[in-house]
Structure 1
């Protein structure tokens, strides 16, 4: 009876302390975190073991367990992160494992959320492979972590061993920063790596999976200041095409549908008039995906000036899948079967319909209509909702 009461009391104390620690992290109170560590992370007269284990999970982020160090990083709480790491001896390697379950590395999370002050502290640790240096202890840590997670009643529990971590992106940290429009981080990386180039933080590096560099990625943001900085200061190459054969203008056209920003017209104008991106490149495909009337009018006018008489309405009509469509009973069964198997948000007009469209020689768009959620999001707007898109 007495032992049961002690156990319940112990669990209640752990809940209380865990909540207090979470509150201190959210307030970015280094002093409060320090007090909690000094009082509860060591053995005391009541318990043989510390009341809290600094690497244990205390909260969930998008249904994934996170420990105090990871939560501080997620919120960009630099002073608290420093105390947890230096005074609480929290391990970077364990924090990294939690983030990997979200398909992200800590450095990517900092870049996506724009936590510059914490990035300044964390970057030397990341470059020094501090988390890798701890890997010799990881197996033992993982066993201890699973034991504590099962026996302790915190706000969250570790994932089961059968849980498969989300796949990691091939994007570099600086590409993540560009994707989220974090101009201040791009400037920071430029200065930091001015004398010591590093591919992970090089705006010219091309993602092998997508064929995109920072220049092309910036065209998805509608951030004119970022595009200008990459072109005028960094000399980023906007002339390449990605593996989908889309150029900078086409990428901006596609993403202007996803992000209703008035700056997209300004971005397209800048790409055409200042950067010199070829707006005649597969112009029908570009017009086909555009919805922003101001961009459509601008490109139509530029094309007319070059002697190309075209309009979006004519292009839409030309490639309309519903125009002159035969009744359902007349549709070729083989074609119908092929269409019924199409799944997912992306497909290529040229490859799929080249034999079925009336004009077999027409250059149908190589731009796939993108309707799926963005890759990185990752991360939503609010601090708590940003980590996944």
Structure 2
């Protein structure tokens, strides 16, 4: 096999399971990562000649574990293990190890690895950086580029995260059912954070931060592989796919924001939509609703509408009402108000929005939505004040430019 491009794909796919198992063996994140890297180097030396092993993850775990133990023995001036040439054909050992990597242990290893990356003592920025480095295998340079920071700063961020984890005394025993459910919720939140880091990127950042959305989807696929019957994981995956399906239509050729109702639906990714719709339909058949499923169901209604005017806003209103019960939040209520505006008009929507002012005083979208509702009600002076506040709070030039369009419209109406 002269073309070794396939090796990178195999190593990437096997990485979470291998690093997770090595973490269980050595109970140290740096040791597990170094052991995996050593196993990868040996794979690059032996696989081109010998071909891929029957179970790549088992091979990498076996070689990585031996390499780490070899390093310990060398330091202790004990007898070293055989070199890679002597262990390149691991049929018997690999088969034995693969037999022991049953589904339950595999799931616990993956979950442990992901949970370590999103330890509650870590801020979200460190959780995301650590997951991208340890689970996805991105280089420090790639992660730094995505976050628009220097390599040294990102290296320091990851190092600090590892140090905090090392001092936290994490348990390594197999989690019980209750703890596993709690961990899954935490991991799902971290995965969605990774996705949103990319999905919320400005148009000019699409080639850097935008790739994080795909990394989030990759992590969600990993979770779904570990928990194939968990409806909330299906919902999370469906939500990401349905949102990312609209990526090509979210900005115009000048980088300006294009609202959902104004998007060219011909630019939407039909393949992702089909997969997302199938997943949310499957999840809802379990009849165990959760926040991700409800959000995915809302995204599905948008995806199923061939034209903006075909959108079932009444059903979206009901779904947001369910989401308010499952996950009460002023932001959820604000989003529901957008649907209420479509169903019952701006007065009813504004009645929902105004009480949110204290909690969302510094939230760009609150003032943008409020301004749009006031504009519809011909309360122009109040609308202008809301739009001015939104511009002051805009996170990107594109957001500010979008609000200025509303102000321009107000000026034309009052000219």
Taking structure 1 as the reference length, the TM-score comes to 0.30
More helix by share: 2
Higher RCO, Cα 8 Å, sep 6+:
1
